[in-house]
Amino acid sequence: MITMLRVLEHLLRTQALANRWLLRGENWLEGLALGALDHDERRLLTDRLYSYWRPAPDYAGGLFDWEQRWFEADLPIQPARVLIGGVGSGRELAWFETRRDRIVAFEPVSELLELARAASQSRQTTLLAGGYEELIADRRRELLDGWRPEPPGTLGANPTPLARVVAENAPYDAVVLGWGSFTHVVETSVRLALLRRARELCPRGPLLTSFWMRPADSVFDRGTSFSLGASLGDWLRRLRDRPQTEIENGDHFVPALGFGHRFSASEFAQLAETSDYRIIRAPRAGGGYPHATLSPKIE
């Protein structure tokens, strides 16, 4: 009996030590990835990681319970004209099609877009290739500098095919940024421009989005392992002559999910305010995946 207890004690201590080193390794890798890659590379790697993803049986067929309660409470009466960004493999799309909504949806990962196309059952659904960057590329400067809401169909000088089709079908009754996709917008200016463009495309309806959250605005100390990885990553970035990219408080890298940003409640509120929105459902970490609903300020 004593021998067995000692063996188990030794195994548990070994496991605890291994876990500590594993965590340090994960922190080092996260620092390395964030330090080495610029915004464009972060986005491309994230899309590449999602290209390997396939829906698991437990959530391939419909909404999560928290999503259904949220959508039923905050979306306009059906049928509606809905813009869905980051539609993924079409899990949410199937629910919208049962409402007989007229849908324009887009997805940057071609493998996921093909799954969505295979799943779609409605002739009123338009599925497009591209991401949030393509949506705002032609008007990015206008959306950031001295912005005031323009009419829904407004386009810049050289719109992408995605931006053109989205504008041609505007205005929308609602905008939905697909499950967690707003988190993967890795650049602060793109997040702001995206919300402002959504505000134009849907001037009177809600915007629904879900994302990772962090508990507060205080700077999180990620430890020595992260700092060592970030320093090595920055050296590699300079060696490759890539643009300098700041590691913001809230930026993260998860090996299975790519790069993402964890928002604090006040940070998200500031984004909404500067995009001419008011928050009608505040994000919180409990009650399912953190999510929020915004409504345009209408004078």
Assigned domain for 129 exists: yes
pLDDT at 272: 97
pLDDT at 44: 94
Residue 175 and residue 275 in contact, taking contact as beta carbons nearer than 8 Å: no
Q: Give the pLDDT means over successive 10-residue stretches in the chain (299 positions).
A: 71 73 80 93 94 62 87 94 96 92 96 93 95 95 92 92 96 96 95 97 97 78 86 92 90 92 94 96 78 91
Assigned domain for 58 exists: no
Q: Scanning the structure block, which residue is given the tokens 């949220």?
A: 70
Assigned domain for 179 exists: yes
pLDDT at 252: 94
Assigned domain for 156 exists: yes
Assigned domain for 270 exists: yes
Assigned domain for 1 exists: no
pLDDT at 299: 65
Domain span holding position 100: 65-214+261-296
pLDDT at 220: 64
pLDDT at 22: 74
The CATH code of the domain that includes 86 is: 3.40.50.150
Compute CA distances 297 → 17, 70, 75, 200, 273, whole Å.
54, 21, 17, 11, 9
Buried-exposed string 181-193: b where 16+ CB fall within 10 A, e elsewhere? bbbbbbbbebbbb
Q: Using CA atoms, how far apart are residues 163 and 179, in angstroms rounded to an integer?
A: 21
pLDDT at 214: 87
pLDDT at 74: 96
Assigned domain for 252 exists: no
Q: Report the domain count for the chain.
A: 1
Assigned domain for 45 exists: no
